[in-house]
Amino acid sequence: MPTRHRRTTRHLIAAGTVVTTVVTATACSGTSGSSKGADGPLVFGISADASQLLPWTATAIQSQQVLGQVYSSLLEQDNHLLPGAGLADMPDVSKDGKTYTFTLRSGLTFTDGSTLDSSDVKYSIDKVLDPATKAVARTSLSAVKSVSAPDAHRIVIKLKKPDASLLAALSSVNTAILPSNKPLASLKKKPLGSGPYAYKSRKPNQSISLVRNPHFYRSRPGLSALEFRVIEDQNSMVSALRSGAVDMAIFDDYVTTKTAKSDNVTIQTVDQLNYHALQMRPDSSTFQNTDVRLAIQCAIDRKQVVKTAALGQGDVVGPITSPGYASDPDARPCPSRDLKAAKKHLAAAGKSDGFTFTAIVPQGLYSSASDEAQNIQSQLASAGITMKIETLDSSAYVDRWLAGKFDAAIALNGAGADPATTYTRYFTSSGNFNKVAGYHSENLDKLFADGIATTDISERREVYQKISRELEDKAAWVWLYSGRQYIATNTRVHGFQPVTDGSLQSLWETTLA
């Protein structure tokens, strides 16, 4: 789903960073007309306001990016998105895999100088688990039975059953540690954490200012100040970058990014795990018949979708994009467009004359949706299938999508490094989004259960290959491609390590020349 709601992408546990290209500037105008000092503020451009200031309920990527600088979690993701030491060292795990003991670093404080100890950690995890908090990480911590703080430095987490994704969940900004003595209502307005930067002020829909936290537990952050500036319009963002008003920004549009290149702006390309798909709901009367879905699968040339909607900047993928588990995009019925096969499937479904269906298409969630829809519509037309486009604004789209009130949907869905977190909620009969996916089977339920229970990597891999095969053979959805992201930075910026999917793990070490 929508990029801005990519919660799942935060739960990454495998090494998945793929920085492919570094394009350096060609000559162009562009003045660095800024009088800013060497150590800040660094201005980071974001395309939408970070309005959710409580990390536990922050779902929008912009809020997560900002709060990731203000808060720390028990563990932190490293630049390869693996969980590593954070406020606590890596835990001791009991033999049965059900008891985790964490030891906090000593001398931890919040940015107001107050002490951070195990009681704050216990408070935070308990609050995340409390349904009343409406924390988004509650489901990923559902294996937790109890949290206790035997002394000021130690936290013991007991599980109902072993859970391999616990550490990833604890390294997310959605499980950040908040001070237990501050009311949540005040933190919603004025965040207070233990991250590299301290919250200073916010102008709604304009900017959020942070200042250096000199007592950051890792070491001294690289900048005296950091400002997130909201610039909704991509073209304005480009000119802001070129004029030096903004030092860094992340784009998902290739052409826009190209225009940002100049003497003083460098572009880095980062692969994404999120995938673009044409979701069909096999539960709906239109798509009940597997042959109908296979006909659509065979009638679409995915490379053409990439070429037109992403101007060639993306890779055709199968269902699973998680590194180490990735599906082979050729292991599917009709790996390349096959109109004859499409006709055969249509005939088998008794619809030789084609048929008509409607796809919901979001507007304002991500830029390529409408282009994908138009290209797919045109491709399906030549197979005799009529796809009607129903454009919906983002909130209306999410409404319909969640309620499963659609036959087909153009979607950009979040994916994590762990295929279990990505797909269990869609394709198991009890998954929260099974109504959205519209497909489940006994076989899949069993495979997903196996996948969580299995710890051996190669065995797990096999399980997920089987899952991938069933999804493709039955054409549950049509998986299209994964796009790329572009990180534009002013050449004054040093030390930033781009990481898949726009996470800003290394921003705290970044400095300005």
Partner 1 sequence: MKSTLIHLGGHPVTRRLGEALLTLLGVSVLTFTLLRVLPGDQITSSYGIDAGDLTKSQLAQLHAYYGLDKPLPEQFLSWLHGVFTGNLGYSSNAGQSVADMTADALPVTLELAVLAIVLALVIGIPGGMIAASRPGALRDGVAQTASLLVLSAPVFLTGTVLASILANSFGWNPNGQTFAPLTEDPLMNIQQMVLPALVLGVSIASPIMQTTRTAILDIRGEDFIRTARAKGVPEHALHVRHVLRNALIPIVTMSGLQFGFLLGGAVVAEQIFSLPGIGRQVLLGMGQKEYSVVQSTVLVIAVLFVLVNLVTDLVYRMVDPRVWSR
Partner 2 sequence: MSTLMESVAPAPPARRESLLRALLRNRSGLIGTVLTLLVVIVAVAGILGALPYDPAAQDVEAALQSPSGAHWFGTDQFGRDVLSRVASGLGSSLLVASVSVALSGSLGVVLGILAGYFGGVLDRAIGVLTNVLFAFPSLLLALTLAATLDRSWRTVALAIAVVYLPIFVRVARGPVLTLRSADYVIAATATGQRRLATLFTHILPNIRGIILVQVTLTLSWAVLTEASLSFLGFGTPPPAASLGVMVYDARALSSVAPWLLSGPGIALIVFVIGLNMFGAGLRDVVDPRSGVRR
What residues make contact with partner 1 under the rule CB under 8 A? 1-2, 4-5, 7, 29-31, 49, 51-53, 57, 59-60, 131-132, 134, 136, 138-139, 188-189, 202-207, 227, 229, 231-233, 235-243, 245-246, 259, 364, 392-396, 398-402, 432-433, 436
Task: Tell the smallest beta-carbon distance from residue 450 to partner 1 (Å).
Answer: 24
Q: Which does 136 bind (CB under 5 to 8 A by kind): partner 1, partner 2, none?
A: partner 1
Task: Tell the smallest beta-carbon distance from residue 228 to partner 1 (Å).
Answer: 11
> Sign (positive/negative) of CA torsion 458, 464, 469, 470?
positive
Q: Residue 332 CA to chain centroid, in angstroms? A: 25
Q: Which does 112 bind (CB under 5 to 8 A by kind): partner 2, partner 1, none?
A: none
Which residue, 250 or 447, has its beta carbon nearer to partner 2?
Answer: 250
Report the C-alpha gap between 185 and 190 in whole angstroms. 9
Q: Which does 53 bind (CB under 5 to 8 A by kind): partner 1, partner 2, none?
A: partner 1
Task: Tell the smallest beta-carbon distance from residue 259 to partner 2 (Å).
Answer: 4
Report the C-alpha gap between 109 and 456 in whole angstroms. 39
Q: How many C-beta neighbours within 10 Å does residue 100 have?
A: 23
Task: Tell the smallest beta-carbon distance from residue 234 to partner 2 (Å).
Answer: 6
**Contact residues: partner 2, CB under 8 A:** 234-235, 253, 255-256, 258-259, 304, 307-308, 311, 363-364, 367, 370-371, 373-375, 377-378, 389-393
Q: Which does 52 bind (CB under 5 to 8 A by kind): partner 1, partner 2, none?
A: partner 1
Task: Tell the smallest beta-carbon distance from residue 314 to partner 2 (Å).
Answer: 14
Which residue, 299 or 392, has its beta carbon nearer to partner 1?
Answer: 392
For residues 264 and 492, the answer to whether their CB atoms sit within 8 Å is yes
Q: Which does 49 bind (CB under 5 to 8 A by kind): partner 2, partner 1, none?
A: partner 1
Task: Tell the smallest beta-carbon distance from residue 485 to partner 1 (Å).
Answer: 19
Which residue, 321 or 375, has its beta carbon nearer to partner 2?
Answer: 375
Task: Tell the smallest beta-carbon distance from residue 370 to partner 2 (Å).
Answer: 5
Q: What are phi and psi of 277, to 5 degrees?
A: -145, 155
Q: Which does 497 bind (CB under 5 to 8 A by kind): partner 1, partner 2, none?
A: none
Task: Tell the smallest beta-carbon distance from residue 304 to partner 2 (Å).
Answer: 5
For 285, 448, 509, the CA distances from 493, given in Å and listed in that order, are 54, 44, 11
Strand partners, 279: 409, 477
For residues 224 and 211, the answer to whether their CB atoms sit within 8 Å is yes
Residue with tokens 């002394």: 151
Where do the H-state alpha helices sit in 349-456? 369-381, 394-403, 419-427, 434-437, 442-453
Task: Tell the smallest beta-carbon distance from residue 2 to partner 2 (Å).
Answer: 16
Which residue, 29 or 106, has its beta carbon nearer to partner 1?
Answer: 29
Which residue, 273 or 387, has its beta carbon nearer to partner 2?
Answer: 387
Q: Which does 311 bind (CB under 5 to 8 A by kind): partner 2, partner 1, none?
A: partner 2
Q: How many C-beta neighbours within 10 Å does residue 433 have?
A: 18
For residues 252 and 48, the answer to whether their CB atoms sit within 8 Å is no
Report the C-alpha gap between 347 and 5 in whole angstroms. 39
For residues 306 and 336, the answer to whether their CB atoms sit within 8 Å is no
Task: Tell the smallest beta-carbon distance from residue 29 to partner 1 (Å).
Answer: 5
Report the C-alpha gap between 197 and 176 in whole angstroms. 14
Q: Which does 373 bind (CB under 5 to 8 A by kind): partner 1, partner 2, none?
A: partner 2
Report the C-alpha gap between 173 and 73 in whole angstroms. 6
Q: Which does 63 bind (CB under 5 to 8 A by kind): partner 1, partner 2, none?
A: none
Question: Beta strands 356-363 and 386-393: pairing type?
Answer: parallel
Q: Which does 106 bind (CB under 5 to 8 A by kind): partner 1, partner 2, none?
A: none
Angle formed at CA 291 by CA 288 and CA 295, multiple of 5 degrees: 115
Report the C-alpha gap between 427 and 432 in whole angstroms. 9
